[in-house]
Amino acid sequence: MEYNAAEVAREISNRWGNLPENIIEMMHDVQTKLNYLPKDVLYEVSHVASVPISKIYNIATFYNAFSLKPKGKYRICVCLGTPCHALGAPRVINALERELGIKCGETTKDMKYSLEITGCVGTCGLAPVIVINEDLFGPIPVSGVSKLLKKYEK
Ligand code: FES
């Protein structure tokens, strides 16, 4: 996706009033708009919001919702919390890796899918759980992986 870093930063910081205390919201807007946090945009945001770039990077690496690398259109997160792990999440990850032809932590070449693991998302009763963008699914058996991906083919 083409973007102008200074323009993106200005637009987002104007929306949040250039207030340093709104830095997480600003970063969230960048993530939503570009699907990741490009370095050049973060430097611009740091400048307009007067927040040190080191603090921005700390936030970006602390929260799972942020990514410093370009992500696929569909971000597939498999929960590896203890209940999900015990009920087959590692086998679900293997099935997803086979179906997508990538390893966990990678993005398909066509930028359609990213595969990640996450900690407990708070719905352990549905284990094993998968979150695709904003959609949560569970329990997902290994045999259900292929059918689930078909919902996200477009
Ligand atoms: S451990 Fe997966 S939802 Fe809690």
Q: Which residues, 6+ apart, have CB-to-CB distance to 7 below 8 Å?
A: none
Q: Which atom of ligand 1 is nearest to the CA of 85?
A: 1
pLDDT tens figures, 125-152: 999 999 999 999 999 999 999 999 999 9
Tell which one of 64, 92, 124 to mutate to probe ligand 1, the residue whose CB is within 8 A of the most ligand atoms: 124
- Confidence check: pLDDT of 113 > 90: yes
pLDDT tens digits, 57-111: 999 999 988 999 888 999 999 999 999 999 999 999 999 999 999 999 999 999 9
State the pLDDT at residue 21: 95
pLDDT at site 41 = 96
**Dist. CA 92 → ligand 1 center (Å):** 14
- Note the helical H segments in the chain: 5-15, 23-34, 39-49, 53-62, 82-86, 89-100, 145-150
Note the pLDDT of residue 14.
87
Backbone angles phi, psi at 76, to 5 degrees: -95, 115
Q: Which residues line ligand 1 (CB under 6 A)?
A: 79, 81-84, 120-121, 123-124, 127, 129
- CA end-to-end span of the chain, whole Å? 18
What are the structural domains, with CATH classification, of the chain?
5-62 (no CATH), 74-150 (3.40.30.10)
Q: Which atom of ligand 1 is nearest to the CA of 127?
A: 2
**pLDDT of amino acid 65:** 83
pLDDT at residue 28, as a whole number: 95
* pTM of the shown model: 0.77
Res 154: pLDDT: 84
